[in-house]
Amino acid sequence: MNFSFTEHLVLENDRVVLRPIKVEDFDNLREAAASDDNLLRYSPMTIETPEKLSLYIQNAFELRAKQDRYTFTVFDKQANLYAGSTSFYAVSNKDERIAIGATWIGKPFQRTGLNRHMKFVMMRYAFEVLNFERVELHTDARNQQSRQAIKGIGGIEEGILRHFTVMSDGFRRDTVCFSILKSEWAHLKQTIFKDFV
């Protein structure tokens, strides 16, 4: 099955709902976006002010129209609050691979298990619905918290892409590339994600 940028895709389990970002999410996400001035310290875009959040949402629409990135809004069912955003990108239907990333969640939602639920529903879709062979996850080489989190869900570090991404301040970051393969998914579901629905 091919990934479609035109499909209205909703992914969820008992903890999280991911649905396509929309204009109204400016109000939904404003509090989470402003929860930490350094929230997107390692990201090419920043969101901590209303103006930057508005640009982030507009950019999400433009990237989806160009079939570059499919951005979701994250709703935490446990907290009954909007928590942040995540995306599918770097899609190759021919090669049956997709990347998960451009993820941010407000400070109150960090280290609550929400991020694992987000990754679970996205990987379940990639491996069980799309039947893709490979999921990639990328992060700034300096972001040790993100690197540990990706390893914690079974990501295998493959290497560092040097000077790969230009940051908002002009700095060229090194990006670490991780992957999870379809052949590894069943084991991860039985171990790391065994309590997920």
pLDDT of 117-147, one tens digit each?
Answer: 999 999 999 999 999 999 999 999 998 989 9
pLDDT of 192 higher than 90:
yes
Q: What's the pLDDT at 113?
A: 94
**Long-range contacts (CB closer than 8 Å, 24 or more residues apart) made by 12-15:** 12/77, 12/121, 13/117, 13/120, 13/121, 13/196, 13/197, 14/77, 14/197, 15/76, 15/77, 15/78, 15/113, 15/114, 15/117, 15/196
Which is nearest to 74 in space by CA: 11, 151, 160?
A: 11
Pairing of β 69-76 and β 81-92 = antiparallel
Closest CA to 114 of 138, 156, 80, 67: 80
pLDDT at 49 over 90: no
Task: Tell me the domains of the chain and their CATH numbers.
Answer: 11-190 (3.40.630.30)
Model confidence over 88-102: pLDDT tens digits?
999 999 999 999 999
pLDDT, residue 42, reads 65
- At residue 181, φ and ψ (nearest 5 deg) are -105, 155
CB 87 within 8 A of CB 72: yes
Instruction: Tell me what pLDDT residue 181 has.
Output: 98
pLDDT band at 197 (very low <50, low <70, confident <90, very high): low
Dihedral sign, Cα of residue 128, residue 130, residue 132, residue 134: negative
Q: Which DSSP state fits 155?
A: P
Name the DSSP letter for residue 125. Answer: I
In this model, does residue 64 exceed pLDDT 70? Answer: yes
Q: How confident is the model at residue 28 (pLDDT cuts 50, 70, 90)?
A: very high
Give residue 17's pLDDT: 98
Kindly state the average pLDDT of the residues 41-59. 85
